[in-house]
């Protein structure tokens, strides 16, 4: 009976969503109450440890407005510093760590002849609607299921931002940003960048909501 309540709520929320405009098509979002599979969670943490990633296990937390941070970790050391990382569900933290260590460095070698020494994030957990627009459904950020990446610091001192670089004058920077975006699409359920909509002109959004959606 509890599940019916969730279904009815989702139908009501969908009815309030309004025209789809330029945001990605509405997808059924995971009900906040859905518990994390303890076996998958154990495996996920073991995979993080096996990669040599250092992290803290965070206690499950639930907040007002349907927001929650369960099955989450705080990434402490993944190889290079990434600013502004807070609670992140392990299911995002794992592909994110792999993306940072493998895809980002490969693309930096291929296109920028160097390596990335630091990355900048706009954050992880945040209790807000999709695109921060009142009336939209809860963002995956409200479940600690998403991370936003805005800039890459290079070994030669350059700082590549999504905002300046995506459509900037340097073809190698444009290729680097497209390469890391493309590789993220193979790892995350939803990937949004500057081509998705104006809300993402200055960062990449990755989440493990229902996908795949890559734009």
Q: Which residues bind Zn ion (CB under 5 A)?
A: 146, 148, 205
Cα–Cα distances in Å, from 30 out to 3, 138, 180, 209?
12, 10, 27, 7
Nearer to Zn ion, 94 or 207 (CB): 207
We find the least distance from the C-beta atom of residue 86 to Zn ion, in angstroms, to be 13
Task: Say how far apart CA 188 and CA 159 lie, in whole Å.
Answer: 25
We find the least distance from the C-beta atom of residue 181 to Zn ion, in angstroms, to be 14
- CA torsion sign, 14 to 87 to 194 to 97? negative
Nearer to Zn ion, 165 or 209 (CB): 209
105 in helix, strand or coil? Answer: helix
Nearer to Zn ion, 54 or 187 (CB): 187
We find the least distance from the C-beta atom of residue 205 to Zn ion, in angstroms, to be 3
- DSSP β-ladder status, 146-154 and 204-207: antiparallel
Nearer to Zn ion, 85 or 154 (CB): 85
* Helix-, strand-, coil-residue percentages of the chain, each rounded to 5: 40, 20, 40
We find the least distance from the C-beta atom of residue 8 to Zn ion, in angstroms, to be 28
We find the least distance from the C-beta atom of residue 141 to Zn ion, in angstroms, to be 5
Residue, CB closest to Zn ion = 205
Burial of 21 (0-12, 13-18, 19+ CB in 10 A): exposed
Nearer to Zn ion, 112 or 180 (CB): 180
Closest CA to 144 of 23, 60, 79: 60
Nearer to Zn ion, 120 or 148 (CB): 148
We find the least distance from the C-beta atom of residue 146 to Zn ion, in angstroms, to be 5
Q: Which H or E run contains 38?
A: helix 38-50
Contacts of 102 (CB under 8 A, 6+ apart): none
């Amino acid at each position: 009976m509890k599940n019916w309540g969730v279904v009815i709520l989702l139908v009501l929320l969908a009815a309030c969503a309004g025209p789809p405009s330029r945001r990605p098509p509405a997808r059924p979002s995971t009900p906040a109450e859905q518990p994390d599979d303890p076996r998958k969670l154990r495996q996920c943490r073991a995979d993080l440890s096996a990669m040599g990633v250092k992290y803290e296990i965070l206690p499950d937390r639930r907040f007002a407005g349907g927001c929650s941070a369960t099955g989450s970790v705080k990434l402490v050391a993944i190889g290079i510093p990434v600013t502004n990382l807070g609670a992140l569900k392990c299911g995002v933290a794992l592909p994110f760590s792999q993306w940072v260590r493998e895809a980002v460095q490969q693309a930096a070698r291929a296109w920028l002849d160097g390596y990335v020494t630091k990355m900048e994030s706009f954050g992880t957990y945040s209790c807000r609607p999709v695109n921060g627009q009142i009336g939209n459904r809860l963002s995956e950020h409200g479940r600690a299921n998403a991370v936003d990446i805005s800039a890459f610091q290079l070994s030669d001192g350059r700082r590549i931002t999504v905002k300046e670089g995506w459509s900037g004058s340097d073809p190698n920077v444009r290729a680097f940003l497209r390469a890391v975006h493309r590789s993220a699409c193979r790892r995350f359920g939803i990937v949004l960048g500057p081509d998705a909509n104006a809300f993402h002109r200055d960062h990449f959004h990755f989440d493990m909501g229902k996908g795949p959606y890559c734009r």
